[in-house]
Amino acid sequence: MASKDPTRTERDSMGPMEVPASAYYGASTQRAVLNFPISDLRFSRPFIRMLGLIKLAAARVNAELGLLDERTADAIAKAAREVADGNLDDQFVVDIFQTGSGTSTNMNANEVIANRATELLGGQLGSKLVHPNDQVNLGQSSNDVIPTTIHLAALDAIETRLIPALQRLQAALEDKSKELWGVVKTGRTHLQDATPIRLGQELLGYAGQAERGVRRLRRAQEELSDVALGGTAVGTGVNSHPQFASRVCAVLSQELAVTVRETDNHFQAQNTLDAVLEASGSLRTVAVSLMKIANDIRWLGSGPHAGLGELALPEVQPGSSIMPGKINPVIAESLIQVAAQVIGNDAAVSVAAQGGYFELNTMMPVAAHNLLESIELLAAGAANFSERCVEGLHATERGPQTVARGLAIATALAPVIGYDAATAIAKEAAASGRTVREVAREKTDLSEDDLDRILDPTKMTEPGLGE
């Protein structure tokens, strides 16, 4: 019979627990592994990074405040830096679907950092030469550390991943708008022909959605900058130095190059996920914007012969296992699916935000997972869409060719001959298969020069009533 992997005995408040001999985590983490065998989902790299940075900053500040000796604080800070840098990611083994406060993950971090710091000081794993609760968690509680970690991870990921991706998309759309500004085509409302529009104007509208998405994310960042750290168990700050949180926030602000500040109301910061919910709502709005852009672009490229065919999308891969030569708008489809996932994630965050009872929200892990996944998906999806779709778009001749035969061009006649007369011309053109211009030539006394001037589709893409 095969022997078991070697273990060591560690202890927590519930007693002894066998843990893998080489693991940096301890008894509390191992209990969580056994208690929550739910999924293969674990906290993401951005979350673990921020958790490590919080522990690092806490160790430094506690030393400055005279609450922790320099040697121990330095070892904790070095171990926490390793956590932040991703060197110990394999030690974060607790499922997302765990205790609703995230205590198991906070203790996972405390134990990993304590044992690694112990090792750095020459001690044995499990000896608690550095204590996970008394020293690594000094001045903290899971109830303020975990919401702070969520805020910081989202704040940083929005700043470094999502906003740059949206800005790239905005720039790509603006560049393509300028390139295709001269292409005048039929506009569409209610999926029906409407007055002419420049293809560049359509693209400029999409660029505006990306730009306003960044604005919305900036507002969400302002809310996320306000963190719960310092409230400890229920928001009162018990067992925490009065200057601890503000000093830690100052260290984190410098480390991350973003504003991090202690909340002025710890009670709301721990018993709600309001700021997280607002951020998720902003992500949902961005997702819906991107879905609209991707859908429009793939529709404009539909066909190419039996559809609209006004845009030629980059051909990036075969589209069918049975139809030779078929090319599909797969990059747009990918982004649309990303948007769908983000919308679903927002629903989960909305439910999680309802899990605040009295002094604590107890659905923080699932909110964190969905929020951070949404940021990463949107960032990757938007960047990929920019590179593999938008930057390679080309206009076809289809759009300009349909303008003259469009009925909505009769709109330009209304200020000259009246709405009713213009309507009659449009209806006759539709019934007879002739153009609006041909019918107007017959039914009005307008000269060819008048018709050239009034029915100029380029002028219809600008404000004004004509002459």
Share of the chain above pLDDT 90, in %: 97
Catalytic one among 13, 177, 241, 320?
A: 320
Instruction: Please report, for the chain, the start and end positions of each structural domain, with discontinuous segments joined by +.
Output: 23-138, 144-231+264-398, 404-461
CATH for 23-138, options being 1.20.140.10, 3.20.20.80, 1.10.275.10, 1.20.120.140? 1.10.275.10
Share of the chain above pLDDT 70, in %: 99
pLDDT score at 466? 55
Query: Is residue 190 annotated as a catalytic residue, yes or no?
Result: yes
Least Cα distance to 76 among 27, 111, 127 occurs for 111
pLDDT score at 101? 98
In the predicted structure, residue 267 carries a pLDDT above the cut 50 = yes
In the predicted structure, residue 2 carries a pLDDT above the cut 50 = no
Residue-averaged pLDDT of the chain: 96
In the predicted structure, residue 464 carries a pLDDT above the cut 90 = no
Question: pLDDT tens for residues 337-376?
Answer: 999 999 999 999 999 999 999 999 999 999 999 999 999 9
At residue 408's C-alpha, the angle toward residues 404 and 411, to 5°, is 110
pLDDT score at 4? 74
Stated pTM of the model: 0.95
What pairing do the DSSP bridges indicate for beta strands 356-357 and 360-361? antiparallel
At residue 131's C-alpha, the angle toward residues 130 and 135, to 5°, is 90
CATH number for the region 144-231+264-398 comes to 1.20.200.10
Q: Hey, what CATH topology would domain 404-461 get?
A: Ribonucleotide Reductase Protein R1; domain 1 (1.10.40)
Catalytic one among 3, 190, 305, 321?
A: 190
DSSP 8-state assignment for residue 318: B
The count of C-alpha atoms lying within 13 angstroms of the C-alpha of 189, restricted to the half-sphere facing its C-beta, is 6
Question: pLDDT tens for residues 212-257?
Answer: 999 999 999 999 999 999 999 999 999 999 999 999 999 999 999 9
Question: Are 365 and 100 a contacting pair, CB within 8 Å?
Answer: yes
Query: Is residue 320 annotated as a catalytic residue, yes or no?
Result: yes
What pairing do the DSSP bridges indicate for beta strands 192-198 and 184-189? antiparallel
Q: Where are the alpha helices (DSSP H) in 180-243?
A: 199-224
Question: pLDDT tens for residues 176-217?
Answer: 999 999 999 999 999 999 999 999 999 999 999 999 999 999
